[in-house]
Structure 1
Amino acid sequence: MTGNKLKRRDFIQISGTVALGSAFIFPFEKVLANETDKKKEKGFKLSRPRWIIYENGSYDLISEEIILKNCRPSINGQGVMPRNVFLGDSPKGKRIVYELPEGFLMLDLKTNNDSISIGAELSGFSRAPRWFHPISQAEVFGVNRFFKQGYGTGNECGVFPIPRLEGLSGNILTNEATWSHDSYLSFAFLGKNETIAIGNIDHSRFLHRSTIYNRIHQKGLVNQIIDDEKIFFESGMLLEDIKIDNEYIKLPELYFYTGNRAYETMLELAWKISEGTNARQSSITSYHWTGKTGEANSFEKIQTKIDYLHNLEPSIPLHSVIINKGYCKIGDWLEPNENWPGGLDRAAREIFKDGYRAGIWIAPFVVAEDSKLFKQHPDWTIKNYQDKPIPHSIDGEGTFYALDGSHPGFQKYLRKVFGELRKSGYIFYETAYMDWGLIDSWDIKRAKPGRTSVQVFHDVLQLIREEIGMGSMWMMDRTPYGAAIGYADIVRINKTLQSPEEWNDPAIQNMIKESYYSHYFNNIFWQNSPGEIFLSDSGGNLSENEILSLALWQGILGGAIGTNEELDKLDSKQLRFFRFLEPNKRQQNAYLPFWPDEDEIKVAVRVYKQNRSWGVLFFNDKDSSVERTFNIADLIEKDDTFVYGWYPEVPIAFGRLAEIRITLKPHQSRLFYFSENNEYPPGDLTLGGKESDGL
């Protein structure tokens, strides 16, 4: 600590009235849901758990069902060991000040209008710790399941039951009785009738991670029996040991939203995060075509597609046509190969002439070993502490390196690349392998140290957005989620779907799961892209029913709609189906009434206000037939309504129903049209709610 350190007396004065040797208890309160919440008529309510603070600096979070007991902050995985603890008031609740050997830590336990939160500040620290958790070692009670969000594109998210092992026997090493699950961006506890959703609202500086884990003890000699199992939770930030200016840092606030419905509670947290990160929500819903990955790419192929679309009647009103990878060596983005006579400028003009946004694929953080860029500037790559470039990937296509976002030369080069592409007319950018740009600064030697990996990542995102302009559409693939908010218009949420294989292909199963569980932030952080939509079998083993089910599921959710099909090889029925999937320009989500449950059938509901109607999709993604009856009141905000069978069959009227019985074979779906006015589905209405001349 230096001469300008904050003295203990001064810090305590900031803390307000001090109370030693006491505990503070704040009452549990119910609050009204946000007035804009569309399901408030269905009984959704937010509530605020109470804080209980103890004289030793530990605290509890108490809600109606869920309890987090004996919480305390930790630094680098160890609970803080304060010399002194001071309890006092803060503007929105109570404050705990810990006097530590390195300086002071202050926690504000706040009670807000619709939530509770923890604010944290460090003073007197010359460097930040590597990890800091404002809540750790919290013992968990009243929880049956938990939701975990994956790190980014394709990384597993979902709802998982909490294993209960007490009373089982066996060796803990062979039976894997101990477990731990990490969650990024958001996390949720799910009780019987209550959900607590947890997340930071600022992702511009630090990676946020929550972890739930167990600890067990065994007894016995021959048959070891688990007789004591406890569940714990922690949530914190990767600070990466950066230098702290003026020995003071205020950390992002950790929010806890509590509600009686899981989906709506997650929505509340998502909206709060979007406000704190300036998420982009102004773009039209994307409707695009892109070339297939791995196929030869050329100006001639693009020109053929443009000519076909120009002459097609009725037309397909795509917004964007995207040039996929393969037009240059990876890294030499402004030097297209011989398949692009006239360069990328000519291709952009041809796309633009027919009324489409010109789009292009680029991997800004990746460089191939055989590229000119790598040969001329190997010093721009990520290096180890021996100053040697670290190969990031070696495969059949070659050796590839990650570029260091902190290097001034690399930043200048990226400005030139995106600036030139924008001048050429490209206003849609698909940036891939974005995770290569977010590498823990602790593990590598940076050209310019002193910033966290998230800050370096944001520096690059900011310069890209400055060059492409605020009006350009930006789709990110293979990206970490938290750091992308505020820059991305679209994010691919699942692993790449190259071409249809069998139903149980991991990429297809990943798409179904990620699109379902990540739907709570669709059109809030960005438009979710569930990958390219299949319109034909293309030599795979998917049935016509399976192709239809996948496409309807991807289409009804309300995210970006895109395909890489050879449109000129599709028949009229397939083309009409793609027109039916056209999204509305105004972003609108489907509602998932039974999220996060996955019992037998996935259900998605789309509202068409202009027609006082709804599109309702029942989707059986399981390997066995299912039969189930649903109450209409559980699907829409009406006790009964007029029901019609919808696409792809000729609309059939079933009359006014209060419940609907659904029977589906494996991988089958059924789409219905619910009408308040007893009207058949309009012939020009798309699944996205747009009136189209092409149907």
Structure 2
Amino acid sequence: MNYRLNFTYKADNQKKTVECQNDDVAFDLQQNANGLKLTVIPKKAISDISFYLEREYDFSGDKRFFANGFQSWTDTKEFAKNEMMADEGLIGKGIFGKSPFGINLVGDYTFVHQPKEYGVFHSISFAYVRNGKSIDLFGSLNDRTGYTIIYADMNKNTLKYSKDVEGITINEPYELLDLYFDNGEYDAVFDRYFDAMNIKPLTDRKIKGYTSWYNYYQNISEDIILRDLEAIGKRSDLINTFQIDDGYQTAVGDWLSIDKKKFPNGMKPVADKIHEKGLKAGIWLAPFGAQKGSKIAQEHPDWLVKNKKGKPITVGANWGGFYPLDIDNQQARDYIKGVFDVVLNKWGFDLVKLDFLYATAVVPMHNKTRGQLAYESIDFLRECVGDKQILGCGVQQMPCFGKVEYMRIGADMSLGWKHTLIRKNMHREDVSTPNAIHNSVYRRCLNKRAFLCDPDVFLLRKTNIHFTPQQQRVLAKFIKLFGEVLFVSDNVDDYDDEQLAIFNDTLTDDAHIVAINETNDKLFIDYVQNGEAHTLGFCVADGSIYSE
């Protein structure tokens, strides 16, 4: 295979671009049928590095390019040549191009060049091209030195392999690419890819039960939690986990400061009540975040990630804006460790849903790339949590391979289906039922290989919801087919017989997918349940139902 290298860097205060070795740098490219490795060998200190390795690829016919999104919520799907990849949207870009609340840092917008053109796409860490039932896979074997980025130009018939190595200065050999190539049928290819990485999931046990978020959001209380626990606890033959989401703490970042109006008895008695029902107790945290008004942000500004002017950066609009913690700060690390010690060992929770984990690795720092920071942050969390369980969310996927038990692989479900006008102008990581569906379909390759996948909740209640009953049935079946994490956010005591039947069906392991076909947002899933063949068909964009 012939490749063209374009390598830009700074040495001796001069910016240079080369295609082969010179007096400053040399390159070692090793390739075979199963992949390639590219290493840069600097002869002096070099910085401001960017590069790509380009090859030809035939995109003729009906081939489709799979583009893996930056983090859990980033939209992920296969693209045809006549489609265009979204960006951070008008609202995400903000007035005069200034991103409000650092929304541009939620995704890969600051380090990936993505032109607004039909047929031009990019993918993070791994990608494939589908031709009928066969795929050509191009996957990184390790992104610890930086995020691998795969660019496809279906108009020019080219593929480019690159890596985000912004922010580092090197003076010794540095791995730029370590890629694995394969082709064949979907499942067989991904089996071999994960074997090549020596990655195995940490568990094979589904979690089924309840999370408080998609009904009450932050408006939870001890009374609400115990009421819903009592209701769903009656179905302990079907469920095994009860999770408390955001809203119990006085501020994001102040995890051990409990809102006494909501939870007057604290969190340990609630965990004890969950255990009395024979269930695992789960709780939500965003361990790398501190909202602007939190005590941790006010009292420990030295723990926060800062910009070049020394001001804390904002990495999302939630809670009025929040800052990331610098995990290379030892005091910040000690604080986070202490929080987990209390939550897991003193309060007694068994599972932690860890959210907004992208935050600590959105800018390169300490002569480390974003990818290196992401890997180190996940390693740190695994150390903190020990042998208890992690449900990852809002996090880059590859650093979590084999490191967390469960993983949200899509955007948050909305309480309705179609995108509103505002949503159409939002960033790729915003709340979206269509994006959550696509991510579940196209990241199924990670399920039972990297971790167990969480496609998000199914909701069957009749109030505080904008799905039709038919859409609720279809989404419940979809979650059943694609999910290893099956959570509801309803008070199940309110269910009538029909709702309870759907609830019971969703949590029963008696179905498997046979085939998946999508054309122009029309998705058809052939599956077998209890030995009988069925087809689930609907429009991903608007929720029109074709078959159940």
TM-score normalised by the shorter chain: which range applies?
Answer: 0.7 to 0.9
Query: Is 2:151 aligned against 1:237?
Result: no
Q: Distance in 2 between matches of 1:178 and 1:582?
A: 41
Q: Deviations over 1:154-185 (max 9, x none)?
A: 32222222249xxxxxxxxxx97676321112
Query: Is 2:1 aligned against 1:123?
Result: no
Contact kept, 8 Å, 1:291 with 1:324, in 2: the verdict is yes
Aligned to 1:669: 547
Contact kept, 8 Å, 2:454 with 2:483, in 1: the verdict is no
Q: Deviations over 1:386-409 (max 9, x none)?
A: 2111233456x4332122222221
Aligned to 1:605: 527
* 1:574-613 equivalent positions in 2, closer than 5 A: 574-582=499-507, 584=509, 590-595=512-517, 600-606=522-528, 613=531
Contact kept, 8 Å, 1:352 with 1:358, in 2: the verdict is yes
Contact kept, 8 Å, 1:522 with 1:589, in 2: the verdict is no
Query: Is 2:410 aligned against 1:494?
Result: yes
Q: Which consecutive residues of structure 2, in runs of 5 or more, have no partner in the other structure?
A: 10-15, 84-114, 424-431
Aligned to 2:129: 189
Contact kept, 8 Å, 1:475 with 1:492, in 2: the verdict is yes
Q: Distance in 2 between matches of 1:547 and 1:315?
A: 23
Q: Distance in 2 between matches of 1:540 and 1:250?
A: 50
Q: TM-score scaled by structure 2? A: 0.82
SS in 2 for 1:513: helix
Aligned to 1:212: 152
- Which of residues 382, 402, 406 in structure 1 aligns to 2:328? 406
Q: Distance in 1 between matches of 2:414 and 2:419?
A: 14
Shift of 1:321: 0.8
Q: Distance in 1 between matches of 2:133 and 2:468?
A: 40
Q: Distance in 1 between matches of 2:258 and 2:45?
A: 46
Q: Distance in 1 between matches of 2:317 and 2:541?
A: 37
- Name the amino acid aligned to 1:81: E
CA shift in 2, pair 1:234/1:622, >3 Å: closer
SS in 2 for 1:230: coil
Query: Is 2:68 aligned against 1:153?
Result: no
- Which of residues 239, 249, 253 in structure 1 aligns to 2:174? 249
Structure number with greater CO (CA < 8 Å, separation at least 6) is 2
CA shift in 2, pair 1:129/1:257, >3 Å: farther
CA shift in 2, pair 1:241/1:433, >3 Å: closer
SS in 2 for 1:392: coil
Q: Deviations over 1:231-261 (max 9, x none)?
A: 322012212343447x1234452111122x4
SS in 1 for 2:350: strand
Q: Deviations over 1:405-461 (max 9, x none)?
A: 2222111111111122110211111111122122131xxxx4xx1222222222222
- Name the amino acid aligned to 2:505: F
The total of aligned residue pairs comes to 495
- Which of residues 530, 533, 536 in structure 2 aligns to 1:618? 536
Q: Deviations over 1:171-223 (max 9, x none)?
A: xxxx9767632111221223467531111011333211111236xxxxxxxxx
Contact kept, 8 Å, 2:129 with 2:136, in 1: the verdict is yes
CA shift in 2, pair 1:418/1:543, >3 Å: same
- Residues 358-367 or 283-292, more deviating: 283-292
What percent of counterpart residues are identical? 18
Query: Is 2:390 aligned against 1:467?
Result: no
Q: Deviations over 1:543-592 (max 9, x none)?
A: 221111111111122431111112222223322321222254xxx99445
CA shift in 2, pair 1:288/1:437, >3 Å: farther
* 1:10-29 equivalent positions in 2, closer than 5 A: none
Q: Distance in 2 between matches of 1:562 and 1:491?
A: 13
CA shift in 2, pair 1:404/1:615, >3 Å: farther
- Name the amino acid aligned to 2:19: M
Aligned to 2:437: 512
Larger proportion of helix: 2
SS in 1 for 2:156: strand
Aligned to 2:467: 542
CA shift in 2, pair 1:473/1:458, >3 Å: same
Q: Distance in 2 between matches of 1:669 and 1:79?
A: 56
Query: Is 2:231 aligned against 1:305?
Result: no
Shift of 1:353: 1.9
* 1:274-289 equivalent positions in 2, closer than 5 A: 276=197, 278-289=199-210
- Which of residues 14, 19, 22 in structure 2 aligns to 1:100? 22
Query: Is 2:245 aligned against 1:367?
Result: no
Q: Deviations over 1:653-683 (max 9, x none)?
A: xxxxxxxxxxxx941433xxxxxxxxxxxxx
Flag the structure with larger Rg. Answer: 1
Query: Is 2:290 aligned against 1:290?
Result: no
CA shift in 2, pair 1:492/1:230, >3 Å: same
Shift of 1:595: 4.6
CA shift in 2, pair 1:450/1:295, >3 Å: closer
Q: TM-score scaled by structure 1? A: 0.65
Shift of 1:323: 1.1
- Name the amino acid aligned to 2:490: E
SS in 1 for 2:225: helix
- Which of residues 254, 259, 277 in structure 2 aligns to 1:332? 254
Contact kept, 8 Å, 1:130 with 1:238, in 2: the verdict is no
SS in 2 for 1:119: strand
Q: Distance in 1 between matches of 2:294 and 2:304?
A: 13
Contact kept, 8 Å, 1:154 with 1:493, in 2: the verdict is yes
Q: Distance in 2 between matches of 1:592 and 1:236?
A: 35
Aligned to 1:27: none
